[in-house]
Amino acid sequence: MARFFDRMAVGDWDAMAACVAPDVVRVGPYRDVKTGRDDYRAFLAETIEALEDYRLDLQRIWTDGSRAVAQLSETLRMDGRLRRTDEAIVCDLGDDGLIHRVEVYLQRGYFVDDEPEIPRG
């Protein structure tokens, strides 16, 4: 799971895609659905590569072996200012060690200079 986010953060799309099952299902924060490794890889690559000054910061991962939750933030430049969104990503893990389902949950995005950081334990 950590490798999935590490590879996404640096734009290593093939290594990131190798972490998900061929029939992965991704449900986005707006109930948008992507199905299949190739479609999911293409969606993330196209979306992230279009963002200015994109950064992914992984805070922590919790897993019980069959499910995992990652707490992270994504930051990008919008209208000349850094905008951050804090997120939780819930994943179902298969016996094969691959991610089979991804669900994305967002907090309200904010401009970095407008609000203080949320202390993380």
Question: CA 67, CA 3: separation in Å to the nearest integer?
Answer: 15
Q: What is the pLDDT of residue 67?
A: 98
- The Cα-based distances of 115 to 84, 102, 112 in angstroms read 10, 29, 6
For residue 88, give both structure tokens: 């939780």
- Look up residue 14 and give its DSSP letter: H
Across 25-53, average pLDDT:
96
**What are the tens digits of pLDDT across the range 66-85?**
999 999 999 999 999 999 99
Taken in order of first residue, the domains within the chain and their CATH numbers are: 2-111 (3.10.450.50)
**What are the tens digits of pLDDT across the range 5-18?**
999 999 999 999 99
Q: What is the pLDDT of residue 121?
A: 64
Task: Give the angle 36-1-118 at the CA atoms, nearest 5°.
Answer: 115
**What are the tens digits of pLDDT across the range 93-110?**
999 999 999 999 999 888
Higher pLDDT, 113 or 82: 82
- Look up residue 13 and give its DSSP letter: H
- pTM score of the predicted model: 0.90
| pLDDT over 80 at 26, yes or no | yes
